[in-house]
Amino acid sequence: MNAAMAAPPLFCLLLVLLVPLAPAGLALLNAGLNRSRSAAQALLGSLCVMAVAAIAYSVVGWSLEGFAGGASHSILVGGVSWNWIATRALFLRDVRWTEPEACAATLQIFAVGLAAMIPWGSGAERWRLGSGCAATALLAAVLYPIFGHWVWGGGWLAQLGTTFHLGNGFADPGGAATIQVLGGFAALVVVWIVRARRGKFPETGPPAAIPAHHIVYVLFGCMTALVGWFALNAAGAILFAGADSAALAKTVVNTILCASGSLLAALIVTRMRFGKPDASLCANGWIAGLAASSAVAALVSPGAALFTGVVAGALLPLVIEFLEVRCRLDDPSGGIAVHGFAGLWGLLAGGLLRHTPQGQFVAQLVGVATLAGLVLPVTYVLYRLLNRIAPFRTHPEGERIGMDLHELGAGAYPEFVTHSDEFLPR
Amino acid sequence: MKLIGLGLLFSGWILAVLALVLLPLPRERAAFVVAALAVEGLGLGLAMRAHRAYAGDGQ
């Protein structure tokens, strides 16, 4: 905290201004991994998700999340004070704009958009734009800020070190928990609710492969996201882990090592399983490495960061296959595995792979238990209620003709020849 | 079945928090938190099975 207060706000703000490249990369990935008839809706939806998240977070979210050391509310249970929510003013009215908390508020506005974009990608090709925006508002105004306060705002998870002597408390400098796993669990809930695309799971035989329509978007999105992740991990390290801004090079090196190890591991595994490397799974491996790096980049040695990435990338294709074939989850962007699973692994690796005070790994486990045991069920209940008011799943006709024509009235590629769809029954 | 799974997930979190409050010894506390995560794993597995049982294209 002291180091964070000493960090130069201008340098931190410049870092934060690069963070939107992460959601920009994810938006390209989400659009490219869909079929062409829903590409425009996917990209417009990504912009709308960013917009709704920014407004909802600015109006309500910041007041619930706040910044460490700010006004908050605690409850006394078992003789221990549990700091559970911030009590800041609505509409960002009490932000001290010349101090580091202004950088934190700005970072959060972009970060919450990144988190909300993860479920948007998983519900692609059958999730209505309107209900997607409503779900984003819920996530940005309630779910993200409250959990974010526990981790980044001086809440009870951050204080596990002082209240229960668990290391330095739950450590998540780059947002592996607050952004990646929270977004990944929201993606799981959305896939549970909207169910599969038509034709994905035939009554007999294996799930149908619905290939990405534009792998160039997907791979370029990976490169764009890398720059955003550099900034996200570096700014997070300054603001939430008290890192010295002069020592950020290690965070940046660890980020690229984690992503590189993950990409190459995914490439080797897909090469072994399918005979040739799978471009979309390799892209997912890259993003999984970045998601895992958010937990470890500011904390571990370069070797440990590389190991974290290799494990994430090696397991990712298997997890995606397990979720699709065994669990019958239709997740076009792979967000559940890429952000949820890899983020969880990163959080555990952050407790395992560094020299920490006693109890640090238990603190990480408590954070993981909170994500799975509280955030996931609450997200499910809220989204199910929202689904009754604003149904998530689009009309069957919308899915047949594509979300572009159905919701926007025009396709992303009007000059393309319309072709038949082998996935739909005739 | 999905609601039971989600209930187990929530129960696991309660167990993890109770372990912090009630158990002072680090080793007991760690074991209890791991057990809580196992309960959560069970709940997640149940919720996944429930989804699989009704998995279709939602139409």
Q: Is the predicted pLDDT of residue A235 greater than 90, yes or no?
A: yes
* DSSP conformation class of A196: P
Dump pLDDT digits (tens) for B18-46. Answer: 999 999 999 999 999 999 999 999 999 99
The overall pTM is greater than 0.90: yes
Burial class (CB in 10 A: 0-12, 13-18, 19+), A326: exposed
Q: Is the predicted pLDDT of residue A418 greater than 90, yes or no?
A: no
Closest alpha carbon within chain B to A361? B30
A73 pLDDT tier (thresholds 50, 70, 90): very high
The vertex-A332 CA angle with A328 and A334, nearest 5°, equals 80
**Range in A331-335, B15-19, B23-27 the model is least confident about:** B23-27
* Distance separating alpha carbons of residues A299 and A306, to the nearest angstrom: 13
The vertex-A49 CA angle with A43 and A53, nearest 5°, equals 155
Dump pLDDT digits (tens) for A148-188. Answer: 999 999 999 999 999 999 999 999 999 999 999 999 999 99
Asked if residue A178 lies in contact with residue A143, where contact means CB atoms within 8 angstroms, the answer is: no
Query: Cβ contact (<8 Å) for A377 and B10?
Result: yes
Neighbours of B41 (CB within 10 A): 14
**Which among A238, A181, A229, A183 has a CA at the least distance from the CA of A364?**
A181
User: Residue A424: what pLDDT?
Assistant: 55
Instruction: Provide the mean pLDDT of chain A.
Output: 94
The identity of residue A104, as a single letter, is A
Among the partner-chain residues A201, A368, A377, the one whose CB lies closest to the CB of B57 is A201
Terminal CA-to-CA distance of chain B, rounded, Å? 21
**3-class DSSP state of A393:** strand
Asked if residue A122 lies in contact with residue A30, where contact means CB atoms within 8 angstroms, the answer is: no
Selected residue of A330, A366, A397 to mutate for chain B interface (largest B Cβ count, 10 A): A366
The identity of residue A233, as a single letter, is N
What's CA A59's distance to the chain center, in Å?
21
Query: Cβ contact (<8 Å) for B56 and A195?
Result: yes
Instruction: Provide the mean pLDDT of chain B.
Output: 92
Residue B20 counted as domain residue: yes
Q: Dihedral of CA A184/A189/A194/A199: which sign?
A: positive
* Distance separating alpha carbons of residues A303 and A260, to the nearest angstrom: 12
The identity of residue A256, as a single letter, is I
User: Residue A420: what pLDDT?
Assistant: 57
Does the domain at A22-70+101-408 match CATH 1.10.3430.10? Answer given as yes
* Distance separating alpha carbons of residues B22 and A77, to the nearest angstrom: 11
| Helical residues (DSSP H) of A297-359, grouped into ranges | 302-321, 335, 342-352
The residue behind tokens 């970060």 is A111
> CB contact, 8 Å: B6 with chain A?
yes
* A69 token code pair: 């050391």
Closest alpha carbon within chain A to B10? A373
- Chain B residues 24-43 with a CB less than 8 Å from chain A: 26, 29-30, 33-34, 36-37, 40, 43
Q: Is the predicted pLDDT of residue A4 greater than 80, yes or no?
A: no
The identity of residue A162, as a single letter, is T
Q: Is the predicted pLDDT of residue A2 greater than 50, yes or no?
A: no
Q: For the CA atoms of chain A, what is the radius of gyration?
A: 21
A192 chain-B contacts, CB cut-off 8 A: 2, 47, 51
B1 pLDDT tier (thresholds 50, 70, 90): confident
> CB contact, 8 Å: B57 with chain A?
yes
User: Residue A1: what pLDDT?
Assistant: 44
Selected residue of A191, A328, A383 to mutate for chain B interface (largest B Cβ count, 10 A): A328
Give the domain range for residue B44. 2-53
Residue B58 counted as domain residue: no
Total domains present in chain B: 1
